[in-house]
Amino acid sequence: MEATIILVFVMGYLAITIEHSIKIDKLIPALVMMAVCWALIALGLESFPQWFDSSKHTLLEGFGSMTSEDKMHLMEETLLHHLGKTSEILVFLLGAMTIVEIIDYFDGFSTIKDFVKTKKKTKILWIFSILAFVLSAIIDNLTATIVLISILQKIVKDREIRLWYAGLIIIAANAGGAWSPIGDVTTTMLWIGKKVSTGHLIGYLFVPSFLCMAVPSFIASFLPVFKGELDVEEEVDKKKSKFSGTMLYLGLGAIVFVPIFKTITHLPPYVGMMLSLGFVAIFAEIYSNSKFSISGSDSEEHDANSHHSPVHHSLSKIELPSILFFLGILMAVAALESLGILFGFANTLQEKMPMLGTEIHVGEGVSDLVVLLLGVGSAVIDNVPLVAASLGMFHEPMDNELWHFIAYSAGTGGSMLIIGSAAGVVAMGMEKIDFFWYLKKISWLALIGFLVGAVAFMFTRTLF
C-alpha cells in the first residue's frame, strides 16, 4: 500500500510540474493527490508497520499492537493536526492577499511609478531590481513581480528590452522573498512551522539574498541591451485617488507589523495578519466613500465599485486557486510524513550523500550539497512541496542553520528556470516569455547569483 501511495504522489507531482504542457491547472492534481493519498491510508491502515508522530517528530512506539479503533482515532487526530497547521498558512496568505488587493483597489501601487525619473537603462535596471528586492520582502515575491511588470509595461515600450528587465525582476523578487518571513510561501511555512525566527532569518539571509540580487544586476548592467537611454513615451495617466499613497504605506506597514506582533505576543502569525487586515479594512471603508465622491467618473466601473465594500471587492479578486493548491500539496506531503516515508528517506539521504567538508556542514549530518541540490530542484519542480517535505524529513531545532539554508536555496534556486518559481510563471504569462529564451539569456545570471549567495551564506552562518 505504501508503494501505491508513493506512486500516486509521484504522478500528482509530475502533473503539477508539467501543468503548462497538459493544460491542467496544478491545483487539480494537488487536490486529487491529497484526497487519494489519505483515502488509501484510511483503507490500508491495518497494513502499515509504523506511524510518524508529528508533534514529537519521531516514529510512534507500539503502533503495530494498536487496535483498529485506536489506529483510526490516531489517523483522524493526525489529519486534524496537519489541517490545523496547513490552515495557519492559508489564513495568513488570505489576509496578506486581501491587504494587497485593497492597496490595488485604491491604485496604491501607481505611487511606485513616481520613483522612476530617469531614462538611463542601467539606472532603471537598478531601480526595478531594488524595488523588487524590497517589495517582495513585504508583499511577497509573486505580488511584487505582478506590480513591477505592470509598471514596467507603462515605462518600457520595446518588448525585447522589457523581457530583459522582467528576467532581472524575477531574480530580484525571489532573492527578496528569501530573507523575509512574509516574502515567500516557503519562508512563511518555515516561520509558521517554528523552524526560523524573524531576527535570525534576516541575520542569516539578508546579505546572501542581497548578493543574489545585486551580482546578476551588476553583470547585466554591462550587457549591450542595457546601454544607452530608453525612448520613453509620455502618458497621461488617469487621475489617481488622493488616498493611493496613504493606502500603499498603510497596507505595507500593516503587513510589516505582523512579525512584530508575533514577537511581542508569541501568537501564531495569522492572528497578527487578521488584526492588520481589520485595521487596513477600517481605513479602506472610510476612504472608499470619499474616493468615489471626488472621482466624478461616470464609467461602469465607477458605478459597480461605488456600491460595493472595498473589502468585499478585494476578497473577490484574491487567487483562491493558489490557496487550494497549497492546501492540496501540503496535505499530500503530510500523508507521506504520517507514514514515516519522509523520515526514512531523510535518514537514507544523510547516510548516502557525501559531505562537502568535514567541519562545515548544515544540520546534524546534512550535507551542504543536499541543500544546494534542493535549490536546483526547486528550479525544476515547485519549491512548496520541496520545503514541505524537508519539514517532515529533518528534525533540527528552531533557527538551526539548516532551515535558513533551505529557505535560501528553495527561495532563490527557482530563478534558474522561468517555470521554477511563482514569480517566473506569472512573468511568463504577463510578458509571454519563452522558456528557452529565458534559459539562454537569464538562467546563467540566476545561477551565478544563486552560487554567490550560497557562498555568502556559508560565511554568514559562522557569525551566529
Q: What confidence score (pLDDT) does residue 365 get?
A: 47
Alpha carbons 190 and 181: distance in angstroms, whole number: 8
Q: What confidence score (pLDDT) does residue 269 get?
A: 84
Q: Which helix (H) or strand (E) holds 137?
A: helix 121-139
Whether pTM exceeds 0.75: no
Segments in 316-382 forming alpha helices (H): 320-338, 341-352, 368-380
Q: What confidence score (pLDDT) does residue 360 get?
A: 40
Mean pLDDT by 10 residues, the chain (464 residues): 87 78 82 92 86 74 82 89 86 85 84 76 90 88 83 82 91 92 86 87 92 94 85 55 82 87 86 92 84 49 57 83 83 84 66 46 59 81 74 79 89 85 78 84 92 90 72
Q: For 124-145, b where at least 16 C-beta lie within 10 A, e where not — what string?
A: bbbbbbbbbbbbbbbbbbbbbb
Q: Which helix (H) or strand (E) holds 80?
A: helix 68-105
Q: What confidence score (pLDDT) does residue 266 get?
A: 83
Q: What confidence score (pLDDT) does residue 364 get?
A: 45
Instruction: Quickly tell me which residue has 507589523 as its cell.
Output: 257
Burial class (CB in 10 A: 0-12, 13-18, 19+), 1: middle
Alpha carbons 462 and 401: distance in angstroms, whole number: 9
Q: What confidence score (pLDDT) does residue 291 get?
A: 57
Q: What confidence score (pLDDT) does residue 290 get?
A: 62
Q: What confidence score (pLDDT) does residue 295 get?
A: 46
Q: What confidence score (pLDDT) does residue 359 get?
A: 37
